[in-house]
Amino acid sequence: MKKDGKLTLWERYLTNEIGIEFKACLYFFAILFFYCMYRLIMGLDDARIIHMAEMIFTCYFIGYMQVFLFWNFDEAETLGIKECTGMVVCTALYCIVSYIGAWFDRDLKVTLLMALYLLICYVCVFFIYRSKRHIDDKKLNEELRLFQSEHKKSE
């Protein structure tokens, strides 16, 4: 951090990269869970490695899009038109890749069900991030009050 309290370019880059890494892991897990449930329902107890590779690469690619093109919509303060647009576009991209890669045997109904599932995941993640911010704000305010009271005592 610079002496003036602002983040350096490296720190901003690192913050974005950590956020993208977290998003990629989170959404990969969500998609993999859906995929595994689909496979189990179809009577299969294995998963194709190529599908998992496509999933994780897609999650990273869309993670970068979320952060740099779509305003980091799942971490927004409110759900507005631009955030919902980002959710729909990213969901559509996941569905297109899943259909081309035949993750769900090109079954359009399952692909649409995954789209609904992903939209629900995005909304849940939005509320989780918002709740986390509010909790962090409360903790920081409490720490500030403690610091101020300690500072007054020492004067």
Provide the CA 11 distance to its chain's centre, in angstroms: 20
Integer Cα distance of 103 and 139 in angstroms: 43
| pLDDT band (50, 70, 90) for residue 150 | confident
| pLDDT band (50, 70, 90) for residue 151 | confident
Mean per-residue pLDDT of the chain: 95
Residue ranges covered by each domain of the chain: 9-154
SS3 percent helix, strand, coil of the chain, rounded to 5, is 80, 0, 20
| pLDDT band (50, 70, 90) for residue 75 | very high
The answer to whether the beta carbons of residues 83 and 39 sit under 8 Å apart is no
pLDDT digits (tens, 9 = 90+) for 94-136: 999 999 999 999 999 999 999 999 999 999 999 999 999 999 9
